[in-house]
Structure 1
Amino acid sequence: MMAKVLRAGLLGIGMMGRHHARVLRELDGVELVGISDPGGDPHGVAGNLEVLRDVEALIDIGIDVAIVATPTRFHEEAALKLAAAGVHTLIEKPIAHTVEAGTRIVDAFSANGLVGAVGHIERFNPALQQLRRRIEAGDLGDVYQIATRRQGPFPSRIADVGVGKDLATHDIDLTAWVAQSEYRSVYGQTSTKSGRPHEDVIAITGRLDNGVIVNHLVNWLSPLKERVTVVTGEKGAFVADTATGDLTFSANGTIPIEWESVTAFRGVSEGDQTRFAFPKREPLQVEHEAFRDAVLGLPSDVVTLEQGLRTLTVVEAALGSATTGNPVSFMKNLDL
């Protein structure tokens, strides 16, 4: 057991908050002592805890850490109040509804010497963690391209942001993390097909500082639910399915192609395919452990507020690009 038990408060117990409640109750070194949601307890997760009216009431019971799982437009107000109260906080992604709001959050936590984190949960997916380790080990050689597909039906609970900030933030964050390189430029295209005020389709192409080409296809319009990351490189291609946690590798073949019609092509051939076996822990559990460790001053790979703000900056640039029709370039090693 941990030497110190952290008193945790949870703000928001909707579709995502209910999972945070479950994991917090199972987490060593953390005790869930308070829940706040003006909408009550629709999923019946409060147990013997009173559902408090607002973030101030949550702060008043005395908490060390907080999880903000409210709709995005409420992130800034809650985070700033928690920072002022000296509470370490994990904010569900995206960090805020705008870059300006995200910047104010980053500044507040920095000024108060607090740990702040953003819930970019895909980093803690077992398939992507395996993928990053194998790329670091040189299993792919030089990385050429990273392409992601994230599509599925519209979640009616999302009303305050479009698919760019709600979903494409996942892909921007995981891509920079897997490649260990920030975005150099992006170009975006969007469409609104469903009559809602925000975009429900976004396509982003870009390049990272290390030269890797990236592509992201994201929508809320498909009955086919996909969560796929494909990394192509010198030795083949990795495919990570974050919905299932599976990772496969298709190696470049070494068998000569004998068909006369294609022998002039100086490309790769199809080789062996491997599906890796590895432990598949729940990403939300791993994410909470990382946040807890960061608060306790232990080594941690938590997603920092600065990283969450950088991701939001890239997505806003892609949305701006879709409006102007022009690509957006960033200063190298974007410092925020």
Structure 2
Amino acid sequence: MTASSSNSRTLRGAVLGLGMMGRHHARLLQAMPRVTFAGAVDPGGDAHGAIRDPSLLFASLEDLLAAGGLDFAVVAVPTDEHLPAVRALADAGVHALIEKPLAGTAQDARELIACVERAGTLAAVGHVERCNPALLDLRRRVQAGDLGEVFLIATERVGPFPARIRDVGVVKDLGTHDLDLVRWIGGSSVRRVAAETQHRMGREHEDLVLATGRLVSDVAFNCVVDWLSPTKVRRTRVLGETGMLVADTLTADLTLYRNGDVTSSWDATRTLRGVSEGDMTRFALARREPLLVELEAFCDLLEGTEGTGVVTLQEGLETVIAAEAVLQAAATGHTVDMVTV
């Protein structure tokens, strides 16, 4: 099927996989006026009770496709199953919104992109953090020059281990959020990266990563990600010549800390506070569920709207390549130059 050029009919959409992300996609798709929910596929059934009509739960993609026409599907199966799922959808002429990361390896990601291009279907990657209202406003302010020249983009994404994760480590699961964000906010690709990882839970994959690098634009970045912390933190900080923006994506709060222009003659406070501490502003933001914003943008893409802001497959590939570079840097103890990757 080709992208609809008219809003005269609803789009028929489905979900592949009813795990942590898939069940929320299903919840939203069943409530969106512009979408007719065509069903969900999960061989394990509907463990979370996400599907209102039991007849719309299918054991296989083949069964779903046989049940009727389909415009698009959200691919929320485990990462190593993305390629075969997208290949089957593309062969059937169905568009795809693919949960991040795009694929488990850069090789699979390239093959996935080739499948979509051969079929002439549309696809995007579900990096939902780009739809968080705090990060959207942060990026807008950075691009508008509110901080002047940007020096650093730093992220912290830590918390307890999610038992749902089996096929990848913290770098490709959570870390891909941050590797995408630093590129998106900084408006530039990764030039080089160094990293350290830890394996503390007896799993094959890493459960902590510290990644430090530089974008092509010369902006430095730092990402701290783990599944070992007893509390959940989601914070993105951008430091520039006139101040600092801090986004808390759990609460969707955005705060601006300005450099001050008032000096102090009181030596004790100057030592403790620093001469450049200025005003602090927490912005009032309109808050909408990021996953709904992401789904609406993808529907806009299918209906031919320009400038939807969806994450392209090429962007998704660059993030997977960056994640592999982080793992390579950690394994070898050497900084990885992305030009040679």
TM-score tier, shorter chain, comes to: over 0.9
Match of 1:19 in 2: 24
Please say if residues 91 and 117 of structure 1, whose CA atoms lie closer than 8 Å, have aligned partners that are also in contact: yes
Match of 1:163 in 2: 170
Structure 2 distance, partners of 1:218, 1:28, is 37
Match of 2:42 in 1: 37
1:314 to partner: Cα distance: 0.1
CA deviation map 1:19-67 (0-9, x unaligned): 1011112223211111110000101112113321112222222211000
Match of 1:328 in 2: 336
CA deviation map 1:258-311 (0-9, x unaligned): 2458979xx851111000001011100100011111111112110111111110
Distance 1:98 1:259, change over 3 A: same
Structure 2 distance, partners of 1:175, 1:28, is 34
Match of 1:113 in 2: 120
> What code does the residue aligned with 2:157 have?
R
Structure 1 distance, partners of 2:9, 2:313, is 24
Structure 2 distance, partners of 1:309, 1:136, is 24
CA deviation map 1:147-188 (0-9, x unaligned): 000000000010110000000000011111111111111111
Structure 1 distance, partners of 2:139, 2:10, is 32
Match of 1:313 in 2: 321
Q: TM-score, normalised to structure 1's length?
A: 0.95
Match of 1:90 in 2: 97
Aligned residues: 332
Please say if residues 7 and 303 of structure 2, whose CA atoms lie closer than 8 Å, have aligned partners that are also in contact: no
Structure 1 distance, partners of 2:250, 2:206, is 23
Which sits farther off after the overlay, 96-105 or 20-29? 20-29
Any idea what SS the aligned residue of 1:314 has?
helix
* Matched-pair identity in %: 50
Any idea what SS the aligned residue of 2:140 has?
helix
Structure 2 distance, partners of 1:129, 1:118, is 17
Within a 5 Å distance, the mapping from 1:124-203 to structure 2 comes to: 124-203=131-210
Root-mean-square deviation over aligned CA pairs: 1.8
1:252 to partner: Cα distance: 0.3
Which of 54, 57, 71 is the matching residue for 1:51?
57
Any idea what SS the aligned residue of 2:254 has?
strand
Structure 2 distance, partners of 1:185, 1:3, is 48
Structure 2 distance, partners of 1:296, 1:185, is 38
> What code does the residue aligned with 2:63 have?
A
Match of 2:74 in 1: 67
Structure 2 distance, partners of 1:284, 1:109, is 23
Q: TM-score, normalised to structure 2's length?
A: 0.94
Unaligned runs of 5+ in 1: none
1:79 and 2:86 aligned: yes
Please say if residues 186 and 328 of structure 1, whose CA atoms lie closer than 8 Å, have aligned partners that are also in contact: yes
Structure 2 distance, partners of 1:268, 1:167, is 37
Match of 2:3 in 1: none
1:217 to partner: Cα distance: 0.3
Any idea what SS the aligned residue of 2:329 has?
helix
Which sits farther off after the overlay, 145-154 or 132-141? 132-141
Structure 1 distance, partners of 2:128, 2:275, is 34
Please say if residues 264 and 275 of structure 2, whose CA atoms lie closer than 8 Å, have aligned partners that are also in contact: no
Distance 1:263 1:5, change over 3 A: closer
CA deviation map 1:243-270 (0-9, x unaligned): 1100000000111132458979xx8511
Any idea what SS the aligned residue of 1:331 has?
helix
Please say if residues 119 and 303 of structure 1, whose CA atoms lie closer than 8 Å, have aligned partners that are also in contact: yes
Structure 2 distance, partners of 1:210, 1:261, is 38
1:317 to partner: Cα distance: 0.5
> What code does the residue aligned with 2:62 have?
E
Structure 1 distance, partners of 2:319, 2:65, is 29
> What code does the residue aligned with 2:33 have?
D
Structure 2 distance, partners of 1:331, 1:257, is 47
